[in-house]
Structure 1
């Protein structure tokens, strides 16, 4: 319940702020021309681009899978996992709404929510490195607040979101490599590599969306579609990496307390 509350309240706050007009000057794409997938005029708006719309179901399925309880899990690690899963589940309707209505507020939210999702990776790693006894939820709240505030860079420069996102990705990868060196093994190393490769695919396939559409293979299932598939895989392998390391951290903590 606490995970749902702590995700839904900032979510609703951001929705309210995005609809105030504060971000009216932010550069966001509000037309179907931004996407390489062709619009199907005969379908309703929520399926106007069938592949790019329906792919959002994968976020929900993946989030529900990781939302399930795990045997022998501590309260803090359950909270960390559930927050991350709920972020994925709530992110899906935001992206879908953006495609369906092509309005500024959903487009802003699509960008904005990406930042605290990436910021949750360093939060979770902080728990692994400090251990259950020293980790505090207040540290997580502070980092997530800074992450949300970093979207204010969009008000300063037209590339503000790209700068903020780049910093979030770099921090997540750096901390992932650091915790892998100190706590990981071959198995978690494979998870980390797959997560980073999926992240690269998420970024590159989206940037190359129109260029790839010159090839028949990417004209229906476009680069943007496959970037979302990579994003879901990025989520999944991050869960695998962080959950495995968390289980080991709890075992070490239990051994010390015996």
Structure 2
């Protein structure tokens, strides 16, 4: 399943990178200066470390992705469950160099990618929840189940990728698409928690939601915090928002893998 997951993620990634490097998104509102960030640039360091904290925090995404890609407790995991987990882990791995390149180069294409890739990542949460709900549904023919899941996953991800087109229509188009993705992911997570969760998955869900809120709020308050509190002048709000993003990823993995295990065990007992 690793090869299949890698081929699907890398194919979509290459397509999005190619489109981002055309002139299609020249009118999209993205920030292309160091003034956008509260962390002061260190002129003596090379561009890939120009803002040390905001650059190096991307290593955490790599560690997260590698950990969940080779999850130590994957023994006995169903092949399709392994696939949905590995796709999500690969998304974290592919996202890290995009963010790092954006900071190092301040070019439009990486800035567009930094926004764009966020949408299919949130959409994959919906795909995984759909998979958990299918595990809990009455048995159907294996071929039909595989075709149906693949079609749903491909369709949802395609719609998610295309939704970035809203950024071409309005200055706040990306924000609108992102809010919709986040709200839909949270709604679906609450729904599956109520149907199949327990106290442990509820804890993971609350921690993921809390860090999602921190991810948004700390990024928006980046300069405000740095202007008022000395602690946020190097370890800025933007830096801590990325820490929250990594934790959001991690607790989403915890939530979804635990629910998947519950659904697999329940299905085996039927």
Which consecutive segments of 4 or more residues in structure 1 shift more than 6 A? none
In structure 1, which of residues 6, 9, 12 is the aligned counterpart of residue 11 of structure 2?
A: 9
Structure-2 residue corresponding to 1:249 = 263
Deviation string for 1:178-234 (max 9, x for gaps)? Answer: 000000010000000000000000000000000000210100000000000000000
Structure-2 residue corresponding to 1:169 = 182
Unaligned runs of 5+ in 1: none
- Residues 201-212 of structure 1: pairs in structure 2 closer than 5 A: 201-212=214-225
Structure 1 range deviating more: 61-70 or 234-243 = 61-70
- Give 1:172 deviation, angstroms: 0.3
Counterpart CA distance in 1 for 2:149 and 2:90 is 20
Structure-2 residue corresponding to 1:144 = 157
Deviation string for 1:5-39 (max 9, x for gaps)? Answer: 00000100000000111000000000000000000
Structure-2 residue corresponding to 1:191 = 204
In structure 1, which of residues 105, 109, 119 is the aligned counterpart of residue 123 of structure 2?
A: 119
Structure-2 residue corresponding to 1:77 = 81
2:231 is equivalent to residue 217 of structure 1:
yes
Counterpart CA distance in 2 for 1:166 and 1:123 is 18
In structure 1, which of residues 102, 107, 110 is the aligned counterpart of residue 111 of structure 2?
A: 107
Deviation string for 1:107-135 (max 9, x for gaps)? Answer: 00000000000000010000011118546
Structure-2 residue corresponding to 1:31 = 33
Counterpart CA distance in 1 for 2:49 and 2:156 is 36
Counterpart CA distance in 2 for 1:187 and 1:18 is 40
- Give 1:68 deviation, angstroms: 0.7
Counterpart CA distance in 2 for 1:47 and 1:19 is 23
Q: Give me the TM-score of the superposition, normalised by structure 1.
A: 0.98
2:249 is equivalent to residue 235 of structure 1:
yes
The alignment covers a number of residue pairs equal to 256
Structure 1 range deviating more: 221-230 or 68-77 = 68-77
- Give 1:253 deviation, angstroms: 1.6
> RMSD across aligned C-alpha pairs, in angstroms?
0.9
Deviation string for 1:61-96 (max 9, x for gaps)? Answer: 011000015111000000000000000000000000
Counterpart CA distance in 1 for 2:232 and 2:240 is 9
Structure-1 residue corresponding to 2:98 = 94
- Give 1:97 deviation, angstroms: 0.1
- Give 1:138 deviation, angstroms: 1.4
Counterpart CA distance in 1 for 2:263 and 2:121 is 22
Counterpart CA distance in 1 for 2:17 and 2:68 is 25
